[in-house]
Amino acid sequence: MTLHLETPLVESPPLGRAAGRTVLLKLESSQPPGSFKIRGIGHACETYAARGARRFLSSSGGNAGIAVAHAGRRLSLPVVVVVPETTSARARRGIEDEEAQVIVHGESWQEAHALAQSMTGETDAFLHPFDDPLLWQGHATMIDEAARQGPKPDAVVLSVGGGGLLCGVVEGLRRNGWSDVPVVAVETDGAASLHASLAAGRRVALPAITSIATSLGAKQVCERAFVTAGEHATTSVVVSDRSAVDACRRFVDDHRIVVEPACGAALSLAYERNVALAPHRRVLVVVCGGATATVAQLDAWAGSLA
């Protein structure tokens, strides 16, 4: 049994027309909890449950917590998720709808994370939202599927927050004989911790997260993501919040799918024909999803960024 679904890989004529090249979409937004997170978190939860865990604890700004809650409900184990005060009411409801307990603590994810770790007992398993090899193994399954579903892309475009998706995608590329496929890693201005680290030549922490794409809001990427970006052909791109939100709104019109700005960041490269895509004729964009956005919220963000 796996807790994630096999998701469609589809060609997008609207994005292809905008980008001037073939654009394939891996629709992780169709996962039951709303994002790719259930792949890695589901795999980790199943592994920890098999090892005897009796409760799951996690820290999250939203999507990871919803995924842990979903996995716990499916595995009949209790879940506690600690979220910061910045986590939206919609995200909190999403966690509670999966029958998990939500604790609100701290102004940032780092503070919520520290409390969740301190609560973890001997029979508990702690689910990190992005820094765990089990997560990367689970996330890699989307590339396993893509390799069965369609042609080999010239590049994979994905968003980066803490770096778990980057680690998983590269693991998937390597185990499917696609090690020569480069990655285009996209962040928003104000949440670009990978870009800052690559520029500095060492892993650095941002002083604060100022982007509205809070799902990308890790002040520092995990060590494995930084190393992976140095070992695997990776182009780091930073886009504005405006570009991310505009992409989300266009994506609703084109594909009738609502995604968060964290996902819109990756989509914006196709919509704006970003120069980072210039070397590639066929790109695969990971539509990572996000369960906390609504059309009304996207409109509100667009108004605030005008």
Eight-state DSSP code of residue 286:
E
CA neighbor of 109 nearest in space, from 261, 226, 215, 244: 215
Mean pLDDT (whole number) for 193-214: 92
CB 143 within 8 A of CB 169: yes
- State pLDDT tens for residues 70-122: 999 999 999 999 998 888 888 899 999 999 999 999 888 888 999 999 999 99
Q: What pLDDT score was predicted for residue 204?
A: 95
Q: What is the third-level CATH fold of 37-129? A: Rossmann fold (3.40.50)
- pLDDT grade, residue 306 (50/70/90)? low
Q: What pLDDT score was predicted for residue 214?
A: 80
Of 62 and 32, more confident: 32
- pLDDT grade, residue 174 (50/70/90)? very high
Please report the DSSP string for 1-63 in residue order.
--SSPPPPEEE-HHHHHHHTSEEEEEEGGGSTTSBTHHHHHHHHHHHHHHTT--EEEEE-SSH
Is residue 27's pLDDT more than 80?
yes
User: Residue by residue, what is the 3-state secondary structure of 176-226?
Assistant: CCCCCCCEEEEEECCCCHHHHHHHHCCCCCCCCCCCCCHHHCCCCCCHHHH
H or E element that contains 296 = helix 295-304
Q: What is the third-level CATH fold of 9-36+134-304? A: Rossmann fold (3.40.50)
- pLDDT grade, residue 201 (50/70/90)? very high
Mean pLDDT (whole number) for 155-184: 97
Ranges for all domains in the chain classified under CATH 3.40.50.1100: 9-36+134-304, 37-129
Is residue 39's pLDDT more than 70?
yes
Euclidean distance between CA atoms 244 and 292, whole angstroms = 15
**φ, ψ (nearest 5 deg) of residue 8:** -65, 150
CB 156 within 8 A of CB 169: yes
